[in-house]
């Protein structure tokens, strides 16, 4: 990704039932990006299943068992992958944010039951606005569909677009660029102003902005097929729901604000019927994250080297 030193992929595990799947996802990303894997746990965590000890109060032995089991699982999946583990103490959100400053990618898990508790939880939601490196949230299995990127069509979103192109190239996938288009006069929550020709004019302008945002990256990644999709602000939630159950990966920008990210992690109540099947991982990219020019080559599962 154009980094002078090879930074590790960091997997944050908490002892919940989805920890094995999160580690599997982190291993795949480390192999794909040819980076070492660092598995970290902030003690104490939520130990369930094989990670749960006999005592009522979690102990450091439970934490050590979690790191040992997950590291062994990662070694079996990728024997040639350099793997380290680290047991840390403190608040999970703050500690993982600190880890993100030294990482190529930070991978964390979803709640234990995404079908009845679809929101990400406080730690992942905090990282969605404060992670210093790209954040990958394991929400379920990836599908055979495209990589979907939410494009702001602004210069500040260039890193997100470039990262999405890189991920599509690594996966040998096509890319769907989604751009939210606000109705004429409907910015900042104001009542839309209806005027003759306004709808077509502003939609055409949004199409042009999206095309300009894609143009430079398409030239650098000529083998990645690209599809443009303009959606209105009212249709964005539904579009995200459908993309979640049909895509390989959802990519968006990371920052203090961002409606796309908030719609991903802010669900409340039971999951909608359309989201009761597994939802694909979500990847959030910080503004200005460096992306190396030129196409990336797909990496096989034989190993990182």
Kindly list the distances between the CA atom of residue 196 and the CA atoms of 31, 193, 208, 215, in Å, as whole numbers in the listed order.
54, 10, 20, 31
SS3 290: coil
Query: For residue 304, what pLDDT is reported?
Result: 37
Bond from prior residue into 219 cis (ω within 30 degrees of 0):
no
What is the pairing mode between strands 135-138 and 105-109?
A: parallel
Tens-of-pLDDT digits for all 305 residues of the chain? 444 578 999 999 988 888 899 999 999 999 999 999 999 999 887 777 777 777 777 888 889 989 999 999 999 999 999 999 999 999 999 999 999 999 999 999 876 555 554 567 788 888 988 999 999 999 877 778 899 998 877 776 788 999 999 999 999 999 999 987 766 555 555 666 666 666 677 778 878 888 888 988 998 999 999 999 988 777 777 888 888 888 999 998 886 555 666 666 654 334 444 344 458 899 999 988 987 665 545 544 433 33
Kindly list the distances between the CA atom of residue 283 and the CA atoms of 52, 88, 141, 155, 244, in Å, as whole numbers in the listed order.
29, 24, 14, 19, 12
Residue 277 has, within 13 A of its CA and on its CB side, a CA count of: 10
Q: What are phi and psi of 33, to 5 degrees?
A: -95, 5
Computed over its alpha carbons, how large is the radius of gyration of the chain? 20
Cα end-to-end distance, the chain, whole Å:
15
Query: For residue 249, what pLDDT is reported?
Result: 93
List the structure tokens of 280: 């694909």
- 119 and 128 in contact (C-beta within 8 Å)? no
Query: For residue 294, what pLDDT is reported?
Result: 56
Q: Measured on CA atoms in the order 127, 129, 134, 138, is the torsion positive or negative?
A: positive
Query: For residue 260, what pLDDT is reported?
Result: 66
SS3 63: helix
Query: For residue 273, what pLDDT is reported?
Result: 40
Query: For residue 162, what pLDDT is reported?
Result: 92
Beta strands in 238-278 (DSSP E): 249-254
For every residue of 158-218, DSSP letters joined together read: HHHHHHHHHHHHHHT--EEEEEEEPPTT-GGGPPPPP-TTHHHHHHHHHHHHHHHHHHHHH
């Amino acid at each position: 990704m154009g980094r002078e030193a090879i930074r590790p992929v960091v997997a944050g595990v908490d002892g919940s039932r989805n920890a094995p799947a999160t580690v599997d996802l982190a291993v795949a990303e480390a192999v794909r990006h040819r980076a070492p894997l660092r598995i970290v746990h902030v003690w104490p965590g939520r130990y369930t299943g094989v990670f749960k000890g006999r005592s009522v109060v979690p102990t450091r032995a439970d934490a050590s068992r979690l790191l040992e089991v997950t590291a062994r699982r990662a070694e079996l999946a990728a024997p040639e992958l350099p793997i380290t583990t680290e047991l840390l103490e403190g608040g999970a959100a703050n500690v993982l944010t600190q880890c993100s400053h030294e990482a190529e990618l930070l991978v964390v898990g979803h709640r234990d039951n995404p079908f009845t508790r679809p929101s990400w939880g406080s730690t992942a939601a905090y990282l969605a606005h404060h992670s210093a490196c790209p954040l990958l949230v394991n929400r379920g299995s990836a599908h055979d569909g495209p990589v979907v990127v939410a494009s702001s069509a602004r210069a500040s979103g260039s890193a997100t677009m470039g990262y999405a192109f890189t991920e599509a190239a690594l996966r040998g996938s096509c890319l769907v660029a989604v751009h939210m288009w606000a109705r004429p006069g409907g910015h900042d929550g104001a009542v839309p102003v209806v005027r003759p020709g306004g709808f077509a004019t502003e939609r055409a302008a949004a199409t042009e902005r999206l095309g300009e945002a894609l143009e430079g990256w398409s030239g650098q990644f000529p083998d990645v097929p690209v599809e443009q999709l303009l959606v209105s602000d009212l249709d964005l939630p539904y579009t995200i729901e459908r993309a979640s159950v049909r895509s390989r990966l959802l990519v968006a920008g990371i920052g203090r604000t961002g409606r796309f990210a908030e719609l991903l992690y802010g669900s409340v109540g039971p999951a909608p019927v359309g989201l009761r099947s597994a939802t694909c991982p979500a990847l959030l990219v910080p503004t200005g994250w460096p992306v190396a020019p030129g196409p990336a080559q797909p990496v096989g599962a034989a190993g990182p080297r």
